Chain A
Amino acid sequence: MILQIIVDMVGLGATYALLTIGIALLFGILGLMNFAYGEIIMIGAFAMYLFKDYPWFVGVLAAVVFAVVVSVLTERLAFRPLRNADPVTLMIASFAVSLALQSVMRMTVLPRTQGVPPQPFLTESITVFGIRVTVLQIVTLVLCGVLLGGLALLMKKTPLGVQLRASAENFQVAKSLGVKGSFVIMSAFAIAGVMAAASGVILVARQGAVSAEMGLTPLLIGIVGAVVGGMSNLKGAALGGLLLGMGTGLLEATLPTDLIAFRDAFLYSAVMVVLVIRPQGLLSGTKVRTS
């Protein structure tokens, strides 16, 4: 029983960590709290719906392409003209981008919720030592592990990663030392797009449906995770997401049933407390930029 809860908690935690990373990456480099991130996830999920009659890897590939293209487009069209704006202005702008993307999808291809039947093999479950694990959970864990590991390698070992980290540290100085600002920011948006696509794929498999509004919940989770973990620090953010997911799983398993509906209220109260006590995040050693 306890093991079962822990397995579910880790699965949820890995998914949340993925959500958090995409938000923290852009925040670290641009100071952008990207509310349009949920819509990028929605675009990825929509690709899965569009190609639901093809083999699954076509859908996944399309999800990545769609999400990356849209993510980079939002940067080019909306955020680039605002590059030197303060974080709150950027946040309001991302609100607008989020609403615009949602409206476009609702106007054109997604006026109502559409079902996406999950791949049959994902719903099968196997039992190890009395713990029931679905294939989807395993796939989620592997996917999250590979992506987080890949990102860590990218950030540590490649020239692009070094430039990204330098830009996150101090964008002006990095630029004056020869880092191509626009290229780095675009790559950050592209990477965030990949993360969003993966989240979208997992979300579709879990929910079996796509709608124009589906981005809100993962977005809020990502923001909370990033706030809890420390926004300018990727490792902290990933841990924050993991912790948040596990905390949510724990709350779901232990809260009395009539309080489960209020789970988010507890969660967001915790966020406010964290913001006051440790504005730089629970797990971050460095000081975050304030206002």
Chain B
Amino acid sequence: MTNSTRIRRLFETPILLVALMGLVALIAVFGDPTITRVTVQALIAVVFVAGLSLFSGNSGVMSFGHVGFMAIGAYTTAYLTIPVNLKSSMFSDLPESLGFLATIHAPFPIAVLVGGLAAAVLALVTAPIMARLGGLQAGIATLALLVIVFTVLNSWTDVTRGSSSMIGLPKSTTIWWAAGIAALVIVIAWAYKKSRSGLQLQASREDYLAATASGIAVGRHRVFAWVLSSIPVGFAGALYAGFFTTFNSQTFFLSLTFSFIVMIVLGGYLSLSGAVIGALGVSVLQEILRRFQDGAFTGGISLPAGIADLILAAVLLFVLVKAPLGLMGTRELRLFRKRSIGSAS
């Protein structure tokens, strides 16, 4: 392989994916408001799923707990961006030690950044657990993490308002914010995938024992990927909060987790391109299904609520049976398909 092919192969996929984000953003700019809404939602999903794929794709460990990180990002954004005078009436029962939450204020970009870092703090706390677990045990542990985050958000009503909604967030997530952060996360995820740590983690995914026997400190790389992946997911939460401007503790729980799982499994969780395409595809599919449920294609007769979920579940089962590795498998988007056969990464 010549030097120029190597460089091309290294930069081809991220450039294509970033270009895809730009294309999607352009569609939103020239589309009507509904299309813009769907596009922003899809881009937020891309941020989340690319972040999740940074951990799951490289380590082969599926996480059901990342929505917990997203919740952290969203709540952080809420504390930082809700106008101060509104906050003092919303959080009248704040405990003494957390009183500063009612007075702090920051512009949206800072809130996004802090949201990502706050998620990373939670990831750091749980990292020792993730370093030691794999397979199904890790799946259950991450699910337990999700339940813990949910329980705390739902029950600590003085601070989080529990199941009553957070309100008054300024609408800050624009299409360019969403597309920009999606592109940034894609570049980070790709860079990690091609980094030394990423490659060693992938080796442990293929064969844990062989990797440890070759002197790879699997736990250390898992911890690194776990913490690194929580940051974009925190961003996704911040973007979500800034876009929908209202949410509550129920928002970030199992049904959201399920739709992200569908995205990453459908696209192919071993491939970054797969994750991105899955996120875009399933977001569009969900919107179509929602319209279908409201009767857009059946002459205005609305169908019973739940049919959208049912079809989504059926699609997921079908993919799991027919193509367990998803649409992309381990392939990545490339311009020149033929040359890359033989040595597909």
- Which A residues lie at the B interface, using CB under 8 A? 31, 33, 78, 81-82, 85-89, 91-93, 95-97, 99-100, 102-104, 106-108, 111, 216, 220, 223-224, 227, 261-265, 268-269, 271-272, 275-276, 279, 290-291
Contact = CB atoms under 8 A, between A and B. Distances in A.
Contacts, number: 132
B268 to A, nearest CB: 13
Given A33-B136, A85-B320, A111-B304, 15 more contacts: A81-B321, A91-B62, A91-B136, A93-B320, A95-B258, A96-B320, A97-B313, A103-B306, A107-B304, A223-B143, A262-B155, A268-B147, A275-B133, A291-B135, A291-B136
B306 A106 contact: yes
A97 B310 CA distance: 9
A85 to B, nearest CB: 6
Given A106-B306, A107-B305, A276-B129, A88 B135 contact: yes
Given A87-B136, A92-B265, A99 B312 contact: yes
Contacts of B137: 275, 279, 290-291
Interface in B127-164: 128-129, 132-137, 139-141, 143-145, 147-148, 151-152, 154-156
Given A91-B136, A104-B306, A223-B140, A96 B316 contact: yes
Nearest to B128: A276
Contact of A264 (B147, B304, B307, B316): B147
B12 interface: no
Contacts of A106: 304-306
A211 to B, nearest CB: 13
- Chain B: interface residue count, which band? 35 or more
A224 B152 CA distance: 18
B305 A279 contact: no
7 contacts: A82-B321, A87-B135, A91-B62, A216-B254, A261-B156, A264-B151, A271-B144
Name the 3 nearest CB pairs between A and B, nearest first.
A291-B135, A261-B155, A103-B306
B314 interface: yes
B309 interface: yes
A268 B136 contact: no
B140 A265 contact: no
Contacts of A111: 304-305
Contacts of B126: 272
Contacts of A275: 129, 133, 137, 140-141, 144
A97 B140 contact: no
A188 to B, nearest CB: 18
Contacts of B312: 99
Nearest to A104: B310
B310 A272 contact: no
Main secondary structure of the interface of A (DSSP, over half): helix
B285 to A, nearest CB: 14
Contacts of A261: 151, 154-156
Contacts of B314: 96, 100
Given A216-B254, A262-B151, A33 B140 contact: yes
A249 to B, nearest CB: 18
B109 interface: no
Contacts of B254: 216
Nearest to A268: B144
A262 B152 contact: yes
B296 interface: no
A107 B317 contact: no
Contacts of B145: 268, 272
B225 interface: no
A246 B304 CA distance: 41
B254 to A, nearest CB: 7
A279 B133 contact: yes
Contacts of B276: none
B324 interface: yes
Contact of A82 (B208, B303, B320): B320
A265 B151 contact: yes
A262 B159 CA distance: 14
Nearest to A273: B129
Most B-side CB within 10 Å, residue of A81, A92, A104: A92
Given A33-B140, A99-B258, A290-B135, A89 B147 contact: no
Nearest to A259: B155
Contacts of B261: 92, 95
Contacts of A227: 140
A96 B317 contact: yes
A103 B129 CA distance: 34
A291 B134 contact: yes
Nearest to B136: A87
Interface string B276-315: 0000000000000000000000000001111101101110
Contacts of A92: 62, 261, 265, 316, 320
Nearest to B316: A96
A276 B305 contact: no
B255 to A, nearest CB: 8
Given A103-B313, A279-B133, A91 B139 contact: yes
